Amino acid sequence: MIQRSGSRAPARSGRLRVSGIVLMSGLVMLIGGGLLVADEPRESGGNIPNMLRFHDPSGEFATFNLAGDIDTNNPFFQDLGTNGRRCVTCHQPNDGWTITPGHLEQRFRTSSGKDPVFRPNDGAGCSTQDVSTEQARRHAYSLLLSKGLIRVERTVPPNAEYTVLDTDNPYGCGSTANVSVYRRPLASTNLSFLSTVMWDGRETFKDPSGNFQPIAFDLRQQAIDATTGHAQGNTPTDLQVQQIVDFETKIFSAQVRDHEAGDLDDDGAKGGPVHLSKQNFFLGINDPLGGNPTGAAFSPKIFDIFDKWTHIDDREYDEHTAARRSIARGEKLFNTLQIPIAGVGGLNDALNVPVINGSCGTCHDSPNVGDHSLVAPLNIGLVTAEQRTPDLPLITLRNNATGEIVQVSDPGRALITGKWADIGKFKGPILRNLAARAPYFHNGSAATLLDAVNFYDTRFNLHLSQQDKNDLVAFLKTL
């Protein structure tokens, strides 16, 4: 259980604007938005000012660190492996602690495709692809460049309830025993609100008596696996792992300013990472199925950040008012829009209810954060053969007991548990700092937040009006 309380370091508001090309003294260098880290961090001793603002398409976002300025001597920023990769290589502070296609393209150009993010082991569609020339690299890293996807390879569990018959892998990683799938790096921020680590929950663990381990336990194992996997290194030391986890769990990231609505903590609103850092969280804090350990009932009101913008007096009308009203309507829609949830694996089948009259918050239930407050892998239908695009594999699985066949672009949690029922299940992720880190969903299939909203509109027959869509998107952009 993750319960945070107690004193916090005061916010230091370094309002250094970063645009285009900025060179900060010391080790962190931002070139056209791409973060480069010097080779010998100790000698340069740089840091990232607390609350440093970065631009994103709809405004600015910032990271608030409870420990003050971000110390880039932390092993998160250091080369712990053998291929030049650091955690920060794929978790960039100026990309909302993930990577985005625009900045990846810049990094490709300035390095001719040799920046450490471009490594064959899991940056390429398959590690066997030719990377000997720049042209070959552009081809091999096409999925990374277009959607920011990293190859994740999983061995089918020995006792799986299914057999993988075929993978139709466009890059030559066609093994049916070690299946390759392609996923977005999850943001390495706001982690103290997580119930589930990784899209498929594979870094979420239980103790011997069956209780979930504290988040720090999961993140320690995750940091070890990331170092040996992505960075092809040896196991980091206990101290390094501890320092990484200390760092990761003290940072909070969120949008702070919107081009149209202005400052997101203005006039009573509670946007931005400082407010977020004060948000309470524990496992099950707002579970819709009665899983709150305190016994408290589920509240469909997930977000209350922009409540104060619901009623802006006409006399106070200024250039921000229309946008603020739209954001407040979007927040209300998120909390109240009726969604007839049907055919969702992990919900409808688990409860044996064909249609659940839910809302966005049925699955995104953590107050003011939006991930699922309990471990609840769900199949919302992103990986079907119809949704699959030709740049992704199409994996054919046969149920060993019934002979049933399904085709998916990513089996999700079923690659961890071996269970047929877990095919296509992924966690409900945190919905903060979204504007900084398009594209969305585990496979980057939604290029914009409007695309994500349109997915739900079609999937659940919502028939949203254009204004409803605009309001929802306006709200999601400010998170």
Binding site for ligand HEC (CB under 6 A): 76, 85, 87, 89-91, 122, 150, 152, 183, 185-186, 188, 191, 194, 197-200, 219, 222-223, 226-227, 230-231, 244, 248, 334, 337, 339, 341, 344, 347, 358, 360, 362-364, 378, 380, 382, 426, 428-429, 431, 434, 440-442, 449, 452-453, 456, 472, 476
How far is 254 from 432, CA to CA, in rounded Å? 6
Least CB distance to ligand HEC at residue 479 (A) = 9
Least CB distance to ligand HEC at residue 440 (A) = 3
Alpha helices in 212-338 (DSSP H): 215-228, 238-248, 273-277, 321-336
Least CB distance to ligand HEC at residue 169 (A) = 17
Question: b/e per residue, 229-261, with b = 16+ CB within 10 A?
Answer: bbbebeebeeebbebbbebbbbbbbbbbbbebb
Query: Of 50, 43, 53, 21, which Cα lies nearest the Cα of 34?
Result: 21
Nearer to ligand HEC, 13 or 335 (CB): 335
Nearer to ligand HEC, 312 or 377 (CB): 377
Least CB distance to ligand HEC at residue 136 (A) = 19
Nearer to ligand HEC, 85 or 257 (CB): 85
Q: Which two tokens stand for residue 437?
A: 């880190």
Least CB distance to ligand HEC at residue 185 (A) = 3
Nearer to ligand HEC, 78 or 396 (CB): 78
Least CB distance to ligand HEC at residue 60 (A) = 19
Nearer to ligand HEC, 257 or 442 (CB): 442
Nearer to ligand HEC, 137 or 312 (CB): 137
How far is 37 from 45, CA to CA, in rounded Å? 11
Q: How many CA atoms lie within 13 A of 203 on its CB side?
A: 18
How far is 121 from 139, CA to CA, in rounded Å? 15
Least CB distance to ligand HEC at residue 391 (A) = 16
Nearer to ligand HEC, 198 or 264 (CB): 198
Query: Of 263, 326, 368, which Cα lies nearest the Cα of 471?
Result: 326
412, β-bridge pairs? 425
Least CB distance to ligand HEC at residue 245 (A) = 8
In three-state secondary structure terms, 24 is coil
Strand blocks (E) in 360-434:
395-399, 405-408
Cβ neighbours of 317 (radius 10 Å): 11
Least CB distance to ligand HEC at residue 314 (A) = 29
Nearer to ligand HEC, 95 or 312 (CB): 95
Least CB distance to ligand HEC at residue 221 (A) = 10
Strand blocks (E) in 3-52:
21-23, 28-31, 34-37, 47-48
Least CB distance to ligand HEC at residue 362 (A) = 5
Q: Cis peptide before 57, with omega less than 30 degrees from 0?
A: no
How far is 415 from 160, CA to CA, in rounded Å? 8
Nearer to ligand HEC, 143 or 397 (CB): 143
Nearer to ligand HEC, 160 or 194 (CB): 194
Separation in Å, CA 145 to CA 107, 170, 210, 406? 10, 16, 41, 29
How far is 20 from 237, CA to CA, in rounded Å? 37
Nearer to ligand HEC, 171 or 334 (CB): 334
Query: Of 224, 294, 203, 265, which Cα lies nearest the Cα of 81?
Result: 224
Sign of CA dihedral 86, 89, 97, 227: negative
Least CB distance to ligand HEC at residue 334 (A) = 6
Query: Of 373, 67, 6, which Cα lies nearest the Cα of 246?
Result: 67
Sign of CA dihedral 184, 189, 195, 196: positive
Nearer to ligand HEC, 274 or 476 (CB): 476
Task: Name the phi and psi angles at 65, rounded to 5.
Answer: -110, 120
